[in-house]
A and B are shown apart, each in its own frame.
Chain A
Amino acid sequence: MKRVLISGGGVEAWMTGAALATAGRGVLEVQVADQGRRPEGRIAALPALRGLHARLGISDESLASEAGARPRLGARYNDMLEPFGQTGAALDGVAFHHHWRAAGKPAALEAWSLAAQAASRGRFTPGSADPRSPLSTLDHGLTLDAAAYADLLKAVALKAGAEIAPTNAHVEVIIDTAATSPGDDWIDWSAWLSTGRRLADDTGLVSTFEPAPLSAGRRTHAVSGNRVAIGAAYAAFGAGDGGDLHLLQGAIARLISLFPDTPAAAAEFERLSAASAERARDMAILRWGDLSAPPEELAWKIAQFESRGRVVMYDEEVWPESAFVHAFLARGITPRRTDPLALRQPPERVRDLLERMRRVLEQTAEAMPRA
């Protein structure tokens, strides 16, 4: 049995504890040093977090009753809605937004998002796994009461065998989840990200965010000696829109598949941690950062989108392609020209097709119950 100490507190520490104790039952001895203040207020989570809940056996009902979970269908940045789920459908292997441009943008892009249609009507239902249903394009995130959610994760962790660490615990590996601050071992991102974002309003189906203080950057090393820094202990990019938790979730999955306990594994853990933190950083910059001199990979991504609406997806990307399309458009980054492959069909036909798609989505949204 390997002894692991998770340092930090609140949602981050107990999420890590619950996931490691569940996956490592019988082989990992998980202890959590629950330090720090009890979390306050509400937090936002992305759709992907629901996958973790499923693995931990946390039902939607218990999230709602015990952690005050409420569904959300998107986020608003710079007065532009970024809905979850799919926007439109690819035609002939060409992404939807190319056809939307080729058809002369008959309406705002989110008219082809079921999440946006439902949100504007104040209606909600969970998506469907049946690929034939329009509901399969719908996805939703959550907002949660932070303290109650931490308690729920703590109960799951303890049930899976995690323990509250005694003082002076003797352990082999320390996993650090507590928010970090700039030190010697630091790569500074503050030129691109002078502030972060935190939840401002989540009373409706679309959450809004407000600026929050931030010292953006990441540690040079995720692994040093027997300490492994994950989530906010490793990188700070101020994504209170669910991005922070999402990066943590990815790091937990990486810990489970690649425990950095040999030099080769540690090197690979470092490489993957750096890449995913930088991809998440790029999206944060694109949404609320300074775009005057972006990091090289983001600059390349912007140049590609500007030329013809192509979305470059690197390894360890944290956001899906359609999130980038909305984010580019929200920052006023638009393609100079239309993808020629979208011009194969006559524009009237594409307009008809788009109109039919839109009507199906509107009808589907109308048929949902009120949230």
Chain B
Amino acid sequence: MTASIREVLIIGGGTAGWMTAAALAKALPPGVRVRLVESEQIGTVGVGEATIPPINTFNQVLGLDEADFMRATKASFKLAIEFVGWMGEGHRYLHPFGNFGLDIEALKFHQAWLRALHEGWAPPIDAFNLSAQASHLKRYAPPARDPGQVLSSLKYAFHFDAGLYARYLRAYAEQRGVIRIEGKVAEVRQHGETGFVTGVALESGQALEAELFIDCSGFRGLLIEQALQAGYDDWSHWLPNDRAVALPCVTGGDGLTPYTRATADAAGWRWRIPLQHRTGNGYVYSSKHISDDEALSRLRATVDGEPLGEPNFLRFQAGRRKQAWVKNVVAIGLSSGFLEPLESTSIHLIQAGITKLLALFPHTGFDPVEIAEYNRLTALQVELIRDFIILHFKANGRDEPYWRDARAMAIPQSLQHKIELFAASGRLFVSDYDLFAEASWIAVLLGQGVVPRRHDPLVDALETDALKAQLSRLAGLIRQTAEALPPHEAFIARYCAARDPA
């Protein structure tokens, strides 16, 4: 019953499939064969080309060389997301990586800042975040290792071409023994009594057997849904966007920004992701509020460079697979659920799935206790991210019907409590399971206009002149540190310029 797993079959390539293959090749003990079946005829959805800082952990575990990986994926650095127009035309704010300021003994920094705000002398909160200041100046250099230096507070992720990332990890995985099989799955075979998946048959007639199956087949969930009927929790009443159209363009506008831009539009929002060789653009929208044609013409009208190639339309439904792991099938990537890429969580959710799979890697007995733990953690993590994304829509300041509907919608109680508590007194308690730490919640709550009515009375005990001096010194240090960094574009050119720029 408790023999080790010897055969793993990954169904589907793409970002999810190859990230999983690379991680398994690196972490599993010798003697486990990992195979991946994918078809060149099936297109992959290039899930979000923007990432968040935990991607660094994933790359480090694999032992990737950062400059080499960035060259191969035509990557740029990402320090923040700029939200434009979410509180009305002309409004903008940053959600930067990293923290705001430093806590003052037991007091939270943002409480001291709120006091300054209420007294009318506060600089913008992003003056206290190095990633934000570097974003404004479009500068970048690697963070310092010495925690005593201001530069150590810089936190970063990447913009990259997800298709190239998958290709890069494919080479990595194949070098470490993963076997790639070209083909389309024609049939899924299950055990007559247990319902466990025993293998798949390809259109070529080839049969593939394994003990553990990873479903990276995308939205359709070839194994997890079509064979095992895991079910789907529909969240479209909170997140009604169900379409996207993507259209890359030649780099233009403000160029190679070290941040992603998310611009609110009449029936959704538009992304702008700068890569070394092009800019990724897209419009995520609700088909109830705008037609595909209108969405495309809006996107065409707003891209800041010559379009490259044909537009690509995607359909989706916000929600999550009720059970991401059923019997001997684990769904990773879009097969496990979908949240729009507003906070660049798609690749992170793949990574989180892989991390949990490794921590709970099964044996041939498939202990139900471990499967239940995987599903418990998945549900917790995804629901916390869902709440964070809903916040952006709920607390908006726009006038179109789409945005009025979003303001009026009922939201999960967990989120309602968080907003009320913060609005009253700036207090915030974030779960250890939440991908988005306190600083992220503060950035977006404040950015979306949830400004606390009061601050913590304990910060009133701080001496006003001393507090003013302390905040002004801190903002000055952060600004100086940001100003001393090289321009992002120059750093990329020196550090990791793609060999073939086109």
Residues of A within 8 A of B (CB): 2, 23-28, 55, 92-93, 253, 256-259, 262, 264-265, 267-268, 272, 300, 303-304, 306-308, 310, 312-313, 315, 317, 336-337, 339-341, 343-344
**A25-B461, A258-B429, A310-B359 as given contacts; A265 in contact with B4, CB under 8 Å:** no
On chain B, the number of residues with a Cβ less than 8 Å from chain A's Cβ atoms is 36
Docked Cα-Cα span, A256 to B111, in Å, equals 12
Q: Which residues of A contact B2 (CB under 8 A)?
A: 336-337
**A253-B106, A341-B358 as given contacts; A315 in contact with B431, CB under 8 Å:** yes
**A307-B367, A341-B29, A343-B29 as given contacts; A27 in contact with B461, CB under 8 Å:** yes
- Name B105's closest neighbour in chain A (CB-CB): A55
**A268-B421, A336-B2 as given contacts; A307 in contact with B457, CB under 8 Å:** no
**A304-B369, A310-B359, A341-B27 as given contacts; A268 in contact with B417, CB under 8 Å:** yes
- Lowest 9 A-B CB distances belong to which pairs? A26-B461, A343-B29, A27-B461, A344-B29, A264-B421, A264-B420, A303-B369, A27-B460, A307-B369
Are B429 and A310 touching (Cβ within 8 A)?
no
Docked Cα-Cα span, A253 to B107, in Å, equals 10
Q: Which residues of B contact A313 (CB under 8 A)?
A: 432
Q: Which residues of B contact A337 (CB under 8 A)?
A: 2, 363
Min C-beta distance of B2 to chain A, whole Å: 6
Q: Which residues of A contact B432 (CB under 8 A)?
A: 313, 315, 317
**A315-B432, A343-B29 as given contacts; A265 in contact with B106, CB under 8 Å:** no
Min C-beta distance of B242 to chain A, whole Å: 33
B424 sits at the interface (CB 8 A): yes
Interface pairs (29), CB distance under 8 Å: A2-B457, A25-B461, A27-B457, A27-B460, A55-B106, A253-B106, A257-B456, A259-B456, A259-B457, A264-B421, A265-B421, A300-B373, A303-B369, A308-B360, A308-B367, A308-B370, A310-B360, A315-B431, A317-B432, A340-B4, A340-B5, A340-B29, A340-B361, A340-B363, A341-B27, A341-B358, A341-B359, A341-B361, A343-B4
B433 sits at the interface (CB 8 A): yes
- Name B431's closest neighbour in chain A (CB-CB): A315
- Name B27's closest neighbour in chain A (CB-CB): A341
Extra inter-chain contacts (5) besides given A259-B458, A341-B358, CB under 8 Å: A23-B105, A23-B461, A267-B417, A340-B4, A340-B361
Most B CB atoms within 10 A — which of A253, A262, A267?
Answer: A262
Docked Cα-Cα span, A24 to B107, in Å, equals 10
Q: Which residues of A contact B424 (CB under 8 A)?
A: 262, 264-265
**CB-CB contacts of B387-421 with A at 8 A, as 1s and 0s?**
00000000000000000000000000000010011
Q: Which residues of B contact A23 (CB under 8 A)?
A: 105-107, 458, 461
B425 sits at the interface (CB 8 A): yes
B290 sits at the interface (CB 8 A): no
Considering only residues 336-356 of chain B, those with a C-beta below 8 Å from chain A are none
B108 sits at the interface (CB 8 A): yes
Docked Cα-Cα span, A123 to B339, in Å, equals 56
Most A CB atoms within 10 A — which of B4, B107, B429?
Answer: B429
- Name B4's closest neighbour in chain A (CB-CB): A340
Considering only residues 183-236 of chain B, those with a C-beta below 8 Å from chain A are none
Are B27 and A265 touching (Cβ within 8 A)?
no
- Name B365's closest neighbour in chain A (CB-CB): A337
- Name B377's closest neighbour in chain A (CB-CB): A312
Are A312 and B373 touching (Cβ within 8 A)?
yes
A-B interface contact total, Cβ < 8 Å? 97
B28 sits at the interface (CB 8 A): yes
B30 sits at the interface (CB 8 A): yes
Docked Cα-Cα span, A296 to B472, in Å, equals 50
Min C-beta distance of A101 to chain B, whole Å: 14
B493 sits at the interface (CB 8 A): no
Docked Cα-Cα span, A265 to B28, in Å, equals 46
Docked Cα-Cα span, A2 to B61, in Å, equals 51
B74 sits at the interface (CB 8 A): no
Are A268 and B457 touching (Cβ within 8 A)?
no
Docked Cα-Cα span, A267 to B360, in Å, equals 35
B95 sits at the interface (CB 8 A): no
Docked Cα-Cα span, A195 to B414, in Å, equals 37
Docked Cα-Cα span, A303 to B427, in Å, equals 35
Are B373 and A304 touching (Cβ within 8 A)?
yes
Q: Which residues of B contact A304 (CB under 8 A)?
A: 369-370, 373
Q: Which residues of B contact A306 (CB under 8 A)?
A: 369
Are B458 and A24 touching (Cβ within 8 A)?
yes
Docked Cα-Cα span, A27 to B370, in Å, equals 50
Considering only residues 127-167 of chain B, those with a C-beta below 8 Å from chain A are none
Min C-beta distance of B459 to chain A, whole Å: 8
Q: Which residues of A contact B420 (CB under 8 A)?
A: 264
Docked Cα-Cα span, A246 to B421, in Å, equals 26
Min C-beta distance of A232 to chain B, whole Å: 22
Min C-beta distance of A290 to chain B, whole Å: 22
Q: Which residues of A contact B361 (CB under 8 A)?
A: 339-341
Q: Which residue from B30, B417, B433 sits with its C-beta under 8 Å from A264?
A: B417
Are B61 and A268 touching (Cβ within 8 A)?
no
Min C-beta distance of A278 to chain B, whole Å: 15
**CB-CB contacts of B101-118 with A at 8 A, as 1s and 0s?**
000011110000000000
Q: Which residues of B contact A55 (CB under 8 A)?
A: 105-106
Are B421 and A340 touching (Cβ within 8 A)?
no
Q: Which residues of A contact B429 (CB under 8 A)?
A: 258, 268, 272
Q: Which residues of A contact B360 (CB under 8 A)?
A: 308, 310
Q: Which residue from B61, B108, B456, B460 sits with its C-beta under 8 Å from A26?
A: B460
- Name A336's closest neighbour in chain B (CB-CB): B2
Min C-beta distance of A292 to chain B, whole Å: 19
Are A307 and B370 touching (Cβ within 8 A)?
yes
**CB-CB contacts of B445-467 with A at 8 A, as 1s and 0s?**
00000000000111011000000
Docked Cα-Cα span, A236 to B233, in Å, equals 40
Docked Cα-Cα span, A336 to B1, in Å, equals 12
Docked Cα-Cα span, A26 to B106, in Å, equals 15
Q: Which residues of A contact B433 (CB under 8 A)?
A: 315
Q: Which residues of B contact A307 (CB under 8 A)?
A: 367, 369-370
Docked Cα-Cα span, A168 to B429, in Å, equals 36
Docked Cα-Cα span, A343 to B361, in Å, equals 12
Q: Which residues of B contact A336 (CB under 8 A)?
A: 2
**A264-B421, A307-B370 as given contacts; A344 in contact with B27, CB under 8 Å:** yes
Are A344 and B457 touching (Cβ within 8 A)?
no
Q: Which residues of B contact A26 (CB under 8 A)?
A: 460-461
Are A265 and B107 touching (Cβ within 8 A)?
no
- Name B461's closest neighbour in chain A (CB-CB): A26
Docked Cα-Cα span, A25 to B106, in Å, equals 13
Q: Which residues of B contact A92 (CB under 8 A)?
A: 27
Min C-beta distance of A122 to chain B, whole Å: 36
Min C-beta distance of A33 to chain B, whole Å: 22
Docked Cα-Cα span, A307 to B417, in Å, equals 36
- Name B57's closest neighbour in chain A (CB-CB): A93
Q: Which residue from B27, B370, B417, B427 sits with its C-beta under 8 Å from A258?
A: B427
Min C-beta distance of B476 to chain A, whole Å: 27
Are B28 and A344 touching (Cβ within 8 A)?
yes
Min C-beta distance of B464 to chain A, whole Å: 11
Q: Which residues of B contact A339 (CB under 8 A)?
A: 361
Are A93 and B61 touching (Cβ within 8 A)?
yes
- Name B420's closest neighbour in chain A (CB-CB): A264
Q: Which residues of A contact B425 (CB under 8 A)?
A: 262, 264-265
Docked Cα-Cα span, A340 to B208, in Å, equals 24
Q: Which residues of B contact A300 (CB under 8 A)?
A: 373
- Name A346's closest neighbour in chain B (CB-CB): B30
Docked Cα-Cα span, A311 to B50, in Å, equals 33
